[in-house]
Structure 1
Amino acid sequence: MTEYVTDERAAGDRRARFEALAHLVTEPLHRYLLRRADPDPVDDVLADTLLVLWRRIDDVPGLGPDAVRPWCYDDVMPWCYGVARGCLANARRADRRRRSLLERLTWATRPGVEEATDPDHSALHTALAQLRALDREIVLLWAYEELPPSRIAEVTGLTANAVSIRLHRAKKKLAAQVERKTAARPGHETDEGQGNGRSSR
């Protein structure tokens, strides 16, 4: 019983620290993001930032459970700006990947495009055709209609979590199939094994 009470007290303390932090930093972070991004994605990036702050509340300067002095705005704000900057960078990378896939999907599904004109996009079109119908629909709703998983869930009747899982798996399958088809095309040069100083990831 004592252990349960201790855990409850720790959880309550953690929640109180986060709520106090969120009250202080949400508006400055919102302004920070608005100055660096289009308004549309700002709320999502801010939500991601607050989620990271919740998960890492013990890492915020002055907010750890063993903090020896009261924390203040100047202690926490630079660290929180760094988190927001990272979340914005992640959002931009995700948007670039989505736009790249959308561009390739648009090209691959244009009528009259022959395989020989663009093997890469043809490979993507072939890979799309190999997905299950529902997975293909989820990918197209995400790429063409730019719907998030919560909205795709409304269209398909799945849960948002199920959509996220299917979308993640479908994109991995697409990437793997396209890579297999395009990696070893005859006459296609690669820099594998060349001493160009770049490391593979």
Structure 2
Amino acid sequence: MQSRRERFEEVAPGLIEPLRRFLARRTDPATAEDVLAETMLVCWRRAEDLPEEPLPWAYAVARNCLRNAERAARRQQRVAARLMAQPADAEPPEDPALHEALDTLRPEEAELLRLWAWEQLTPAEIALVLGITPNAASIRLTRAKQKLADRLRKIGARAGHEESREGRRS
């Protein structure tokens, strides 16, 4: 049986140029190279699972990686549009009540909430960042949201946050 390295070294040379052409027909050159690198990383990680004919499988991986890159670009465009809509001399919007309420939470709870609200991570992704199980992340996030809502009510602020649900399941 081949090792991962042997399998990858066997198939990688035959994947790179077809994938590069596939991506070049679908996106700009910089994105194509980034997505190609991400695709090859997935191929490396899954080298032992590659089918006998890996190119169609690699096309599917590249297509998924490209969709992820396009979603990330759209999110960046939305943020840029919001920033451009603000007057040049305006400070970023601050919510003193939110910061005050976050400061009253334990640092671990505040970090959970920041990862969820500001970084827009799902509980499963938060679990990866924090090195805990997805179930623990979900439970802790639910509790932290409740604590934050209680603290905001106590100081007379409204609870809630704006988030994008694009490509997210929670």
TM-score (norm 2): 0.55
Q: 1:105 aligns with which of 80, 83, 107?
A: 83
| Greater RCO, 1 or 2 (C-alpha within 8 Å, sep 6+) | 2
Paired with 1:77 and 1:39, the residues of 2 have a C-alpha distance of 21
Larger radius of gyration: 1
> Contact 1:105–1:125 (CA<8 Å) still a contact in 2?
no
Alignment RMSD (CA, Å): 3.5
> Contact 1:18–1:53 (CA<8 Å) still a contact in 2?
yes
> Contact 1:109–1:125 (CA<8 Å) still a contact in 2?
no
> Contact 1:60–1:79 (CA<8 Å) still a contact in 2?
yes
Unaligned 5+ segments in structure 2 are: 100-113, 121-144, 146-158, 164-168
* Cα separation, partners in 2 of 1:103 and 1:60, compared to 1, 3 Å: same
Is 1:30 aligned to residue 10 of structure 2?
no
Paired with 1:17 and 1:182, the residues of 2 have a C-alpha distance of 45
Aligned to 1:125, the other structure's residue is in SS state coil
* Cα separation, partners in 2 of 1:181 and 1:41, compared to 1, 3 Å: closer
TM-score (norm 1): 0.47
- Count of residues in Structure 1 that have an aligned counterpart in Structure 2: 114
Structure 1 residue 21 displacement after superposition: 1.2
Q: 1:76 aligns with which of 28, 36, 54?
A: 54
Q: Deviations over 1:15-44 (max 9, x none)?
A: 121112111100100000000001121111
What is the percentage of aligned positions where both structures have the same residue? 39
Unaligned 5+ segments in structure 1 are: 1-9, 63-74, 113-121, 132-168, 184-199
Q: Deviations over 1:67-90 (max 9, x none)?
A: xxxxxxxx2111110010000000
Is 1:14 aligned to residue 4 of structure 2?
yes
Is 1:173 aligned to residue 118 of structure 2?
yes
Structure 1 residue 181 displacement after superposition: 5.1
